[in-house]
Chain A
Amino acid sequence: MNFDYNEEQQLLADSVRRFIQKGYDFEARKKVVLSPEGYSESVWGTLAEMGLTGIPFSPDHGGFGGGAIDLLSVMEAFGEGLVVEPFLATLMGAQCVSRAGSDSQRKAILPAVVEGKLKIAFAFSEKGARYDLANVKTAAKKSGSGWTLDGEKAVVLGAPAAAKLVVSAKTLAGLSLFLVEAKAAKLRPYRTLDEMRAADVVLQNTPGELLGAEGKALPVIEAVVDFATALVCAEAVGAMKFSCDATLEYLKTRKQFGVPIGTFQALQHRIVDMYVAYEQAKSMAFLACSQADTAADAKERMRGISAAKIKIADNARLISQEAIQLHGGMGMSEELKVSHSFRRLTMIAQQFGDADHHLERFAGCG
């Protein structure tokens, strides 16, 4: 038992935090959000230089050979800084390639991702499917030596920035994954409530390249979405920390009736409950990342990650809502970062399955 970061993890955590403090403060972030692309190419270059885009990929492809545990502190820092770069999206797409792709596909894609030259998104969800990863209507059929895809994918995070998409689609053999050039598909991009960029993706006779075994994609999709779920759990912990710290600071400085409002016991107990919820969530983010990397089998992994997501979803609601309430009217304002962390936490609570979805899956794991 050891909750310490090792030296490499600690150095990484420190450098990410330093970068966010210096190069990605709330004002800098606002400019990125309002830019046409919604992310920053120069920030992306820095993330790659720091080695972040290579963490969960094999050294054979220039990566660090790490896992979710190694990304934990990075995602926490991203959550605290509310980083909107398409980092999670690219890791998801590239994880599909890393886990399912052939040697040549990996060689063609992963080094470019690690170096920060390629962004790639994972188009797995569809309207009407809610959180059911196997509920896919997009179809792929053989066409000459390759495949063509038809259908529509919904809320593909990071798609507007991506050059390539990994798309889940049904063939006669079942659920499969395909690599698609983003420019070959029709994208309808938008800003999400939490100020990231996503797109609905329309595929019409769009050429694709089979990624992994035909009809055998579900376990890969589940593993990648679980991996991403563990990462947003860690990100949520960072956003919770910011929400708690900002609220505590506000309680100490905001005066009413001639005294700081933090002297009122009604508010003291509420912020204590926020910090307790944050610590409990943090414990579960450790569990989620640990299970994403080292679970004995898929069932154990799903059980641990669902347990974590239930706690993260519940506590994200509690902390984000209380942060706004304790800030009073100021908490409602676009000007305050706490209204932005509110939106990110609100979305994380539902991203990759809300608490109800994960309660169902948790119970199914015994």
Chain B
Amino acid sequence: MDNGILAQFIQQIINGVSLGSIYALIALGYTMVYGIMRLINFAHGDIYMLGAYVGFFVTTQLKLGFFPALILAMIAIAAIGVVVEKLAYKPLRHSSKISILITAIGVSLFIEYTTMYFLSPQPRTFPPVLPNQVFHLGSVMISFQQIVILASTVVLMLMLWYIVQYTKMGKAMRAVSYDTDAALLMGINVDHVISFTFAVGSGLAGAAGVLVGIYYNTIDPLMGIMPGLKAFIAAVLGGIGIIPGAMMGGIILGVVEALVSGFLSSTFRDAAAFGILIIILLIKPTGLLGKNETEKV
């Protein structure tokens, strides 16, 4: 292979993995909520947007650095996620899929336009909280921000993995995801588990919001729509409801998008994402890591 093309290829992989790890963080929230409640939380992308705004205010108003911003955003967004669940989704626990979906869309629009109303629809510039350093490895570039994004994502994912696998709450989550009614009969407080899931999922999205703010420098009230959809595609790609699937799906999607915009044209980037969605749904609707299920007659 031509050296220039190879370098460009590696460069796009690096860019793709950075972007993909953010998709993965958002996708985790989608997938966890779907696993527990069979709910496609279309408002999840907007939760992520709120994370970016919290990060923005913490760094500009409180003049705090990257880590406090990340942690404060995660806590604040986790709380918002729980409130949204309690107010909007809890009353609909036994409603039809379509009602819940429309509610999710309602919540999404509500968050977007309330943010616009109070914080103006104008995009804001995220302050440079990390040094703008770029490392050169031959002709391949990797920025300090990309390294921070990757490192934060890996740490958060390891924490999530630990919670789900080894804590009591994690076991309860897996039980509810497997069979809600049986979990209820075993004395698991399903309401608590759902709230906890929303808190964790939203917290991760909040972190993703801060990371994107740092990466792209600019945030606006509608910034959550596309990454929300992309993250959702990532969740479906890996197998919705499956946590490692969301991580895998996010990275794959990010890399494919980076390669498409690098080698073809960025106008086809979104089409590529939806194309992947359609292909996976047609070939293996339960996702790369999913199991096939059929209705018993």
Whether A and B are associated in the same complex: the answer reads no
